[in-house]
Chain A
Amino acid sequence: MAPAPSALVPAVLKEYGDVTRVALCDYLGPREPRRHLYSLVADYPRRGGRMLRPSLCIATARAFGAGLEDAVRSAVAIELLHNAFLVHDDVEDESDERRGRPTLHALHGVDVAVNVGDALTLLSIRALIDNRKTLGERLAMRVLEEAERMAQETVEGQAIELGWRRDNALELGESDYFTMILKKTCWYTTIFPLRVGALIGTRDRFDLDRFVRFGFFLGAAFQIQDDLLNLVGDPGRYGKELDGDIWEGKRTLMLIRLLHQATVEERAWLQDVLGRPRRLRTTEDVHAIRERMDAYGCIDHARGVAHGLAGAALHECAPLFGALPDTRDRRFVEGVARWVLDRT
C-alpha cells in the first residue's frame, strides 16, 4: 500500500491558488486614502505560498457539490487571515526571513507590521461579510460564526504556546503539544477550511464536527512536517532560516521529546538556554540543542509520529468523503494526507 507520488495535489493547489490570488487582488487593490498601507498589506500575500488552506476550502466545497464561485470569497478570507497570522507570528518570533525575503517588521518596523496584520484581518472579515451576496444571509452568517470560532481557537492556541515560552515551560507532554497544535494551527489550517467548504457545499446540512478529527490529524501532520523542515529542510526551498525554531525556543514535538529524553544535567542546561531571551542565545547553544535532538532520535520520532498522524488522517477521511462522487476535488482532499509528508 505504498503511496505513489501524486501530481494531482500540486496541480490542484496551483489551480485553486491562482484563482484565490486573483480574487485576493480585489481586496488588496490600491485604494484611496490608504494606498500607502495597502501596498504593505499586499506584500505577504504576493510573496506566494502553498495556498493549502484556500485550496482545501474550495475543493471540499466542490466535492460536496458547490460551485467555484460559491467558495472563492471564503478562500480569499482564509488566505488573508493566514497572512495576518504570519505577519504577527514573525513579529512575535522575531524572525528575519519569510518566504525567502526579509520579514515585514524587519523591513518596516514592528508597529507597521502590527498594523498591517490588523488590516489583513479586517480585509478577511470584509470578504466573509461579502459572502452575503453569493451565499445568502444565513449561510454567510454561519461562515462568519465558523470564522469567529476559529479565531478564538487560534488565539487561545497562540496564547498557550506563548505562555510556554514566557514561563519557560519544560514539563510538557505530547498531549499538551497536540492540544496546542489543535487550537493554534489545525483550526485555521485545516479544520476551518474543511468545515467552511462543507458548510457551503451542503448548505449547512452536514454535521461539521465530523471534520474536527480529520482536520486535526491532517493539520498536526502538516505542522510537525513544517517543524521538521525547519530543522532538516532544504534552505533554498524552505523560505525561513534553518533551526529558526530552536533559536526561538519554539516547543516543537522534537524539543518536547528532547526534554523527555534528556538527562538531569541536560535538562538543567536546556532550562538555562531556553530561559534566556533570544538575543542571548548563541549559535553554539542552538547547534548543541540540535545535536542532542539527533542523538536522542527526536527527529526520527517526530517523523514517525507525522506519518502515523497522516495515516490516521487518511483513516478519518474515508467516512467523510467516501460516499461522495469520485471527483478530482475529492481525490485531492484524500491525497493531501499523503502530500503533507511528501512536500519539502
Chain B
Amino acid sequence: MMQGASARSGPAAVGPGLPIRVAVIGGGCAAVAAAFELTRPEHRGRYQVTLYQLGWRLGGKGASGRGPVDRIEEHGLHLWMGFYENAFRLVRECYAELARDPSTCPIADWRDAFAPAPLVGVVERGSDGRWVPWTVRLPPTEGLPGDPYPATARWTMADYAGRAAQLVRSLLESLRADGRFPTGQRPPAPGAGRADRGPDQTPEAVAEGIARLLRYGELATLTALTEGVATLATMIGDLSRYPENLVLRFLDALATNARAQLEALAEADPEIRRLWIIIDVTLATLRGIVRFGLMTDARGFDAIDEYDCREWLLLNGASRQSVDSAYMRGLYDLVFAYEDADPSRPRFAAGQALRGMVRAFFTYRGAFFWRMQAGMGDVVFAPFYQVLTARGVRFEFFHRLESLRLASAARLQDGESPHVEALEFDVQAEIAEGGEYRPLREIGGLPCWPAAPDYDQLVDGDRLRREGWEFESFWERRKAGTRTLRVGEHFDLVVLGVGLGTIPHVCRDIVARDPRWRAMVDHVKTVGTQALQIWLAADMKELGWAEAPVTLSGFVEPFDTWADTTHLLPREGWRQGPRALAYFCNALPDLDGAADRSSPEYPARQREQVRRNAVRFLDRDIVHIWPGAARREGGFRWELLVDAREFERAGPAHTGEARLASQFWTANVNPSDRYTLSLPGSSAYRISPLDPTYDNLAIAGDWTDCGFNAGCVEAAVMSGRLAAHAISQSPALEDIVGYDHP
C-alpha cells in the first residue's frame, strides 16, 4: 500500500510522529476538500489521509450514479454559482493535476466540465392566474471563478452599498432611456444630485444640497430621482461624513418618491413592476444597512442574522408586494428556506441572505450560474477520487461511522484537552481478497460512479445483491462486521465531514457533554428534499418553452425549481429517444418517524409521497409553463416520458401515470442527505472548523461556521479548507476567498 509520500517536491516528511495519520470521515465536498488540502505536494507527505465513506460512492449530497442506459441519477439539482471561488479553484487544480487525455476523455479540462448558464428566472403568477416567467440573462463578467484575485479586490460593506446604489441608478436610467416614462422638466437642484462630487464639493456642501432637496420636494421627477440616487452612490463612499439622520431622510425620500412615481405604473406594466421590485428591495437594503449601522459593525452582515430576510426588508420600508414577489420567493426556493419544508413558513436569516445576494450578484465571475456537463459525481467526485488516490490517500468504502467516542473526562491528564479517543465503524461489506475497492466505471470514456455497488468486488456479493442491501440508507442495519479505530494506534487526527443530520446519532458523547454542540444540533436545522428527473420525447420548444435553456425558480411546490438539463443527454447512453431532460427539486416535509431508526418503512413511504407529488405536479402544474405538455382535456401527456427500460426489454409499455415509474426521483430523507438551513438566529450556534476545543478533531461541512453560512457547495469547500487549516495551518485564512468578508 502506498504511503502518503509525494515524490514530487523533495524528501518525504519522516521522523518521530510523522507522517501524521488523519482520518477523514465523510465523502462530500467538505471532506474531499479537506483531504485535497492536506495532501498537497507542499506538505511533502506530512499527512497520511484515510477517507472513510459509507456505501460505494463519494459525494454525500452531491453523489450521482449511472442507472439504466447509463442515465445520470442525481440526489438533486446542483447549480454552481459564479462566486464559488474556493470550489472552482479546487476543481480547476484537480483537473490540472489529473491531466486527462482529451483525445480519450470527453471531459478532460475543467471547462469541459462546467459551462456558463446565464439564463435564470423566476415564475410569477399573474392576477389572471397565469404563470409568467420573468427571466433575465445576466451579463458575463471579467475573469473566471477560481482565478486568482487581483490585489485591489476587497469586499467591504461600503463597496456593496455603493454597488447597490449604482444598481438602482442604472435601473432608473434604463427606465428613463426606455421612453415609456415621463422624465419631467424640472432640472435637479444645484449642488445636489451631481453625479460626481467635484473637488470643491465638501460633504457639508453636498449635505446642504440634499437638505435643500428634501425641503423643496424636488425628487418628484424621474430625472431628479436618478440624480438623487447618483448622489447617494457617491455619499456612500464617505458615509461617516454625513449626519446619519440626513442620510436616512434622503434614503426615505428616494424610496418614497420612487414608489410614488413607479408603483402606480407598475400595476399596469409588468416590466416596470419588475424593475420597481428590485429597486424597492435594494433601497430597503440600503436603508437597513445605514439604520443598523452595518458599515461599521465588526460582525458585518451577521449583525442582522436574527431577522428573517423578508421581515428585515419590511422593517426597512420595502412594500409587501415586493417582499412577496416571485423574485424573493425564487431566492428562498433556491436555498430551500422553508422551515420544516412548509411553504407558508419561509425563513432565511437576513444576514446570510444579504451576504449571499451581494456575493451572487456583485462578485460572480464568468457567469451567474455554471452548469455541470455530466453528473456531479462524474464531474467533481471522480476526478477528486483519482487525484487523491494518486497522491496516496486511502479510501475505505462501506465504512459507516456509528460512534465518535471522546476520551472519558476522568482519564484526562492535567491540562489535557478533551479529544477523540475512538471511532467505531460498521463495515457494511468486505472487499473480496482484502483488496481495495475500485469504485469507478468507465462510460463513454468518462470514469463514473455506478448507481449500485459492484457486487462482484464484495465478499458475499451475490447475497448482498439478492437481499437488496441499501448501503446508503440510514435504516439499513445489516453489516458484515464492525471496526474500531483508536487514537494513537490507527489515527492521530480526525476531520469529521459528515452531514449535520448524522451528528446527533454518531456524536452522542460530544452532544451529551458539550452544551455548545447540543445547542448547535438544536438550532441549526435541516430539511429533507425531493427531486425528480424526467426524460421527454419532445424538445422544449414543442413543449411550449420558447426561450433558451433556463434555471427557473419561484414556481409552485412540490417542485418549485426547474432546470433544463437537456445538455446532459449526450453523456447518457441513449441511442435514440429523449429530446429533452428536466430536473426539478423542492423541500420535502417530514412525515412521522423521520429520524427514527425503528421505522424502516419510512423511506419507502416518503418515496411514494414524492411519486404522488410528481404525478400531481405533472398533471396539474407543469402545464402552466409547458403548455405543449398538456392534453387537450387537461392533464399531462404521459406518453412524452421516455422509458429507459423499453429499449432493453420487450413487453407492453406502460401507459398513463404508470409511465412515471420509469423516470427517476428521490426522497432525500437520510439524515446526512438533508439540506442545511440558515434559519434566523441559527448562525450563532454554528461551530467553526477552527474551533480548538477538541485537540485532535476538526469538523467540516456546510453546517459549520465557515464564513458563508448557507447550504451550498462553496460553504462546504470553505469549511473543508478551514478544517485543513485547523490541522496544518494551511491554506492561510487569507487564501480562503470570502472568509474575511462582511
Q: Do chains A and B touch in the complex (CB under 8 A)?
A: yes
Q: How many A-B residue pairs have CB under 8 A?
A: 20
User: Is A318 an interface residue when CB atoms closer than 8 A count as contact?
Assistant: yes
A207 touches B151 (CB 8 A): yes
Supposing A171-B204, A175-B238 touch, asked if A322 and B732 sit within 8 A by C-beta, the answer is: yes
Q: Does A48 contact B (CB under 8 A)?
A: no
Q: How far is the CA of A318 from the CA of B733 in the complex (A)?
A: 10
Q: Which of B151, B152, B238 has the most CB of A within 10 A?
A: B151
In the complex, what's the smallest C-beta–C-beta distance from B236 to chain A, in angstroms? 13
Chain B: minimal CB distance from A179 (Å) = 11
Please, how many angstroms separate the alpha-carbon atoms of A175 and B242 in the complex? Answer: 14
Residues from chain B with a CB closer than 8 A to the CB of A319 are 151, 734-735
Alpha-carbon gap, A209 to B151, bound state (A) = 8
Q: Which residue of B lies closest to A323 (CB)?
A: B732
Interface residue? A31 (CB, 8 A): no
Cβ contact within 8 Å between A210 and B151 = yes
Report the separation of the CA atoms of residues A207 and B150 in the bound assembly, to the nearest whole angstrom: 10
Scan residues 199-233 of chain A and give those whose CB is less than 8 A from a CB of chain B: 207, 209-210, 213
Q: Are B734 and A318 in contact (CB under 8 A)?
A: yes
Select one of A175, A210, A213, A318 contacting B732, CB under 8 A.
A318
The smallest beta-carbon distance between B688 and chain A, in angstroms, is 17
Closest to A209 in B: B151
A171 touches B151 (CB 8 A): no
Contacts of A30 in B (CB 8 A): none
Q: Are B732 and A171 in contact (CB under 8 A)?
A: no
Q: How far is the CB of B533 from chain A (nearest CB, A)?
A: 43
Q: Mark A160-181, 1 if CB is under 8 A from B, else 0.
A: 0000000000010101000000
A173, B732: Cβ atoms closer than 8 Å: no
Is the C-beta of B202 less than 8 angstroms from some C-beta in chain A?
A: yes
B661 to chain A, nearest CB (A): 56
Asked if B241 contacts A173 (CB within 8 A), the reply is yes
- Tell me the A309-328 residues at the B interface (CB within 8 Å): 315, 318-319, 322
The digit string for B718-742, where 1 denotes a CB below 8 A from any CB of A, is 0000000000000010110000000
Interface membership of B203, Cβ < 8 A = yes
A213 to B241, CA, bound (A): 23
Pair A173/B734 contact, Cβ less than 8 Å: no
Contact A322 B734 (CB under 8 A): yes
Bound CA–CA A171/B206 (angstroms): 13
Q: Nearest Cβ in chain B — how far from A271, in angstroms?
A: 15
CB distance from B157 to the nearest CB of A (A): 16
B477 CB to nearest A CB, Å:
49
Complex interface: chain B residues within 8 A of A171 (CB): 202, 204
Closest to B205 in A: A171
In the complex, chain B residues whose CB is within 8 Å of the CB of A213: 151
Q: Contacts A318-B732, A318-B734, A322-B734 given; indicate if A173 touches B203 (C-beta within 8 A).
A: yes
Residues of A within 8 A of B203 (CB): 173
Chain A residues numbered 292-321 whose CB sits less than 8 Å from any CB in chain B: 315, 318-319
State A171–B203 Cα separation when bound (angstroms): 10
CB proximity of B149 to chain A, nearest CB, Å:
9
Residue of B nearest to A208 (CB): B151
Question: A125 to chain B: closest CB distance in Å?
Answer: 29
Bound: A266/B204 CA distance, A: 19
A180 vs chain B, min Cβ distance (A):
13
Query: Cβ of B735: which chain A residues have Cβ within 8 Å of it?
Result: 319
Given the complex, which residues of B lie within 8 Å of A210, measured CB to CB?
151
- Chain B residues with CB under 8 Å of A318's CB are 732, 734
B392, chain A: closest CB distance, angstroms = 25
Closest to B238 in A: A175
List B residues 688-742 near A (Cβ within 8 Å): 732, 734-735
Q: Provide the bound-state CA to CA distance between A210 and B238, in Å.
A: 24
CA distance A315 to B740 in the complex (A): 11
A264 to chain B, nearest CB (A): 14
Chain A residue at minimum C-beta to C-beta distance from B199:
A176
Alpha-carbon gap, A319 to B149, bound state (A): 11
Expressed in whole angstroms, the Cα–Cα distance for A177 and B202 within the complex equals 14
A175: chain B residues within 8 A (beta carbon): 238
Provide the bound-state CA to CA distance between A290 and B624, in Å.
76
A160 to chain B, nearest CB (A): 11
- B238 contacts across to A, CB distance below 8 A: 173, 175
C-beta contact mask, B150-169 vs A, less than 8 Å → 1, else 0?
01100000000000000000
B 207-243 to A, binary, CB cutoff 8 A, 1 in contact else 0: 0000000000000000000000000000000100100
State how many angstroms separate the Cβ of A189 from the closest Cβ of chain B: 20
Bound CA span A319–B734, Å = 7
Minimum CB–CB distance from B414 to chain A (whole Å) comes to: 26
Q: How far is the CB of B9 from chain A (nearest CB, A)?
A: 14
Bound form: Cα–Cα A319–B733 in Å: 10
User: Which residues of A are found within 8 Å of B732, using beta-carbon distances?
Assistant: 318, 322
Residues from chain A with a CB closer than 8 A to the CB of B734 are: 315, 318-319, 322
Q: Tell me the nearest residue of chain A to B241, going by C-beta.
A: A173
Q: What is the CA–CA distance of A322 and B734 in the complex, to the nearest angstrom?
A: 10
Contacts of B177-214 to chain A: CB distance below 8 A: 202-204
A318 nearest in chain B by CB position: B734
Residues of B within 8 A of A209 (CB): 151-152
Residues in A neighbouring B241, C-beta threshold 8 A:
173
Tell me how far the C-beta of A22 lies from the nearest C-beta in chain B, rounded to whole angstroms: 35
- Produce 1/0 per residue, B238-274, CB < 8 A to A: 1001000000000000000000000000000000000
- A315 contacts across to B, CB distance below 8 A: 734
CB B349 to nearest CB in A, in angstroms, measures: 27
A322 to B203, CA, bound (A): 39
CA distance A209 to B153 in the complex (A): 12
User: Complex Cα distance A326/B203, Å?
Assistant: 46
Distance in Å: Cβ of A209 to nearest Cβ of chain B? 6
Closest Cβ of chain A to B738, distance in Å, is: 14
CB distance from A305 to the nearest CB of B (A): 13
Q: Residue of B at shortest CB range from A211?
A: B151
What is the bound-complex CA distance between A57 and B514, given in angstroms?
52
Measured between C-beta atoms, what is the minimum distance from B548 to chain A in Å? Answer: 38
Tell me, rounded to whole Å, the shortest Cβ–Cβ distance linking A314 to chain B: 11
Closest residue on chain B to residue A175 by CB atoms: B238
Q: Binary interface profile of A, 20-57, with partner B (CB < 8 Å = 1, else 0)?
A: 00000000000000000000000000000000000000
Q: Which residues of B contact A173 (CB under 8 A)?
A: 202-203, 238, 241
B151 to chain A: which residues have CB within 8 Å?
Answer: 207, 209-210, 213, 319
Contacts of B204 in A (CB 8 A): 171
**Nearest CB in chain A to that of B740: its residue:** A315
**What 0/1 pattern do residues 126 to 156 of A give for CB contact below 8 A with B?**
0000000000000000000000000000000
Question: Cβ of B202: which chain A residues have Cβ within 8 Å of it?
Answer: 171, 173
What's the least CB distance linking A301 to chain B, in Å?
Answer: 13
CB distance from B567 to the nearest CB of A (A): 38
- Kindly list chain A residues whose C-beta atoms are within 8 Å of the C-beta of B152: 209
- A158 to B708 Cα, complex, angstroms: 45
In chain B, residues 132-153, which have Cβ atoms closer than 8 Å to a Cβ of chain A?
Answer: 151-152
Cα separation A79 to B247 with both chains bound (whole Å): 47
Which B residues are in CB contact (< 8 Å) with A207? 151
**B563 CB to nearest A CB, Å:** 37
Measured between C-beta atoms, what is the minimum distance from B287 to chain A in Å? 24
Q: Which of B366-398 contact A (CB under 8 A)?
A: none
For the complex with contacts A210-B151, A315-B734, 9 further pairs of A-B residues with Cβ separation under 8 Å are A171-B204, A173-B203, A173-B241, A213-B151, A318-B732, A319-B151, A319-B735, A322-B732, A322-B734
Enumerate 20 A-B pairs (CB-CB under 8 Å) in ascending A order.
A171-B202, A171-B204, A173-B202, A173-B203, A173-B238, A173-B241, A175-B238, A207-B151, A209-B151, A209-B152, A210-B151, A213-B151, A315-B734, A318-B732, A318-B734, A319-B151, A319-B734, A319-B735, A322-B732, A322-B734
The 3 closest A-B pairs by CB, nearest first: A210-B151, A318-B734, A171-B202
